[in-house]
Chain A
Amino acid sequence: MSQLISLCRAVLNEHFGSVVGQVGEVLLKESAQFGILVFRLKDKVSLAQIRKALAILEQHNLVSFELVNAQRIVYKVNPWDVLMLLKIPRCGLIIKTLYQDVAESIYEEIIKEGRMTLSDTLRKMKERNPSLSFEEARSKFETLAKAEFIIREPPIDCYIKGCPIFAQKFEQFEVPAVTEAKVYLSEPPANRKRKAESGDSDAGIYWKINWMRFERYIRDELILDQIVGSKTNSPRDQLFRGTITALLKACETRATTIFALETVPVSLYDIIKTANDEKIATIEKGNAAFVLSTIIDESNGVLRKIGESGGGLYVIDYGRGMQLLAQSHIESLIREQLDTKAVRIFRLLQRTGYLEEEQIEKLIMLNPKETRELLYAMNEENYVFVQPLGKTSDFAPARTFYLYRTDFNRTVRLVEESTCKFLLNLMLRREHEEKEHRALLDRNEKMEAIIAENVDNNEELDEAARSQQRAEIEQIYMNDADRTLLGRHKNAKKKLMGSEIEIERVLYLLHTHLVFAERAIPMKKRGRTRKPLIIA
């Protein structure tokens, strides 16, 4: 998993600087006590810096610590928590689409700080936009909490040997009552060291981003795409989309954990009710039943009907959905790297299990040479694996069957690893591009500042004079070559960032599939290998 760790380090570097990156890397590789951490970073990072980096990681909920044997405190960083940082723009968009701008600002502030009290957030909001009413900001905050997109930090129960032990039971989403007068009047003292000392009524009640909820939302989006396909706006597609959205929404309120393999069973009535209550779509009963039965027929087992009560009970199989999505990504990759015919082989082997080269050649109707070339290439790229089966104990090549097989999860794991590398490469390239054009970007920034200050804010100028002055300043700071270069750099950056977001989505998908796949295997069966099945 070295690629994953390198990627995490790059992400930490980008967000918090290289010291945090270094500290994070150590803790990603092994969970460690503070002493070990210091030892690993000896001569590289000073003690004070390590403490500070650890504090930053803690503030942003990236490091977890626990008291082992009631004497040692062990720190640990989970790589997938770190990678959530890559989802920040995507999640911002989700919040903006669902709850508009004010909610997004709240989200941004909490992201920036890692964790915040309600009062602090409200003060920040006032700073950002003085015209914003107290009540609006507060109600948006409440909406976010109610929708579980933000969550309270657990309060500290007690300390054991200096390690805080958190309360297990508390109201996770209950927003404390605050009054406008108290929030805005209690201006913090100039050199306040600890926030808990402030006079806020909600002091000590911190809120953080509930990544689990976002994950669930993103996963639902993926499943929706898988079932309906992100296609046209025809009434038919909209009806399909609406029905499934309602189904997912109906589960949302009753969701168990994020790791549940399936949604809870939802009845037809609940779907229709949710659709109408949440104003997703107006669906009639006959329509909904029909849409659902059509999807059951086509979704390859992602949507299932499990009972008849309440007009029919439906579940969505997340595990299956993720598997199909992962499959389509892998197939696309094979198609691009090798050939469509390789996809044929891959599917054939998935369906039949173990096959010899000659059998494959017959079934996919290719000539021996091509088949062999494809199989060897696929083996090299880890899409198929060879299982030798000796007729005699010496395993002499002439007396051995070479059976080809697929191992989907193994392939996904390896693709996941290389996806980390792809993503890392994109990030590194973007950094490089930025470094390369640093001077130009600085100049551009300076120019824009001057234009904003001297031209746009100058009341005395009329429109014509403004554009003339603007052109003059632009001419001074940049020539045509610079401008095209800048344009090209901006495009490149846009492309790289766009791809980063897309690739991150795939990475998340592959990871989720593996999590589900792992859970789908009952404990007792784990580790036991399948026996080869020979098809004559």
Chain B
Amino acid sequence: MAVVKTEINVDPSEEVFRIIEDQQDGIDNDTLNHLTPSLSILERQHAINALLADQRLEILKQGEQIKFRVKKGTQLAGVSQEEQLIYQLVEESATNGIWIRELREGSGLSQIQLRKVLKQLETRKLIKTVKAVGTTRKCYMLSQLEPSTTLTGGTFYSDQQLDTELIQTMVTLCVGFLQARRRKAIEEAKNSIEMQKELSLVRPSEISAYIVEKRVLKMAVSDEDIDRVLEVAILDGSVERRPDGRLRAIADGIRTSALVTIPCATCPVIDDCKPGHVISPATCQYMKDWIG
């Protein structure tokens, strides 16, 4: 009897609030009923209504289920309930952003309502849209936040696009740096090829320092980023990596083949070219231009 007594003394709304507070992801009506056996249906209803009116609780709709949850986050002044709800969902997603479909599922608002709410919030500059890399999804996040790297793709992305220009610049810079070092090494140690080799080797950290110093990037570059760029340079055959991780420029990696000096190698209609045909070596215009 003692248990019942103490429970009677507690305010039902406080009791309900305490239980809901324990459940981070919210709680549905049945579970709540189960956890508060001491309250009558009416009492529970009153308690919840009171809490809702005080803005201490909120209702979530997940599929068919209705869930209660303790209200978190910033309270906006002078907004409708829907706006507050959407704002909170966006706020929770933090720097990862939230997709419009997830918003609809989370809030239970109709498409039209949701659009309207989002537009209002956007015009008030509370939230912004961000395009994620690699998808066409539009994500919403608070306007004061910077999108996370999973969304932007990292250092080499600008406007959600891989910045090929930037990468090319970086490759050129790195290769240029290594080549300059090689030239200097050859200059310094004219008589010893071994010394030339040794001096032209560069540690990757030196390259990152150089890139930072050059200020090509607005943000900081990590060593991994530099490594990726260098890997591309290695694939291009302009740089080689020694087993100890140090790098060196290669003298002249590119030799032009005799094959590409003739027009046939790059001819777009080579497959249709046959002696005596409409397209034939004898009548070929490319050939004519080439031999002059």
Contacts and interface: CB of A to CB of B under 8 A. Distances in A.
A365 interface: yes
A192 B280 CA distance: 47
A432 B280 CA distance: 11
A488 B266 CA distance: 24
Contacts, number: 107
A363 B229 CA distance: 9
Contact of A421 (B167, B194, B197, B264): B264
A156 to B, nearest CB: 41
A333 B259 contact: yes
Contacts of A370: 164
Nearest to B291: A492
Contact of A432 (B194, B261, B281): B281
B275 A347 contact: no
B291 A366 contact: no
B265 A365 contact: no
Interface residues of B, number: 40
A392 to B, nearest CB: 26
Nearest to B171: A365
Contacts of A418: 270
Contacts of A343: 236-237
Is the contact region of chain B dominated by helix, strand, or loop, or is it mixed? helix
A344 B232 contact: yes
Contacts of B231: 363
Contacts of A415: 259
Nearest to A495: B291
Majority secondary structure of chain A interface residues (helix, strand, loop or mixed):
helix
Contacts of A344: 232, 235-236
Contacts of A366: 162, 164
Interface string B248-287: 0000101111111110111000100101000011101001
B264 A505 contact: no
B71 to A, nearest CB: 41
Given A425-B273, A432-B282, A347 B258 contact: no
Contacts of B197: 297
Nearest to B282: A432
A424 B281 CA distance: 9
Interface string B121-148: 0000000000000100000000000000
A422 B262 contact: yes
Contact of B262 (A340, A363, A367, A499): A499
Contact of B257 (A333, A429, A495, A499): A333
Interface in B170-206: 193-194, 197
A502 interface: yes
B22 to A, nearest CB: 40
Contacts of A347: 235, 237
A297 B197 CA distance: 11
B232 A365 contact: yes
Interface of B: 134, 156, 161-162, 164, 167, 193-194, 197, 228-229, 231-232, 235-237, 252, 254-262, 264-266, 270, 273, 275, 280-282, 284, 287, 290-292
Q: Give the top 4 A-B pairs by smallest Cβ distance, nearest first.
A: A332-B257, A502-B258, A432-B282, A492-B291
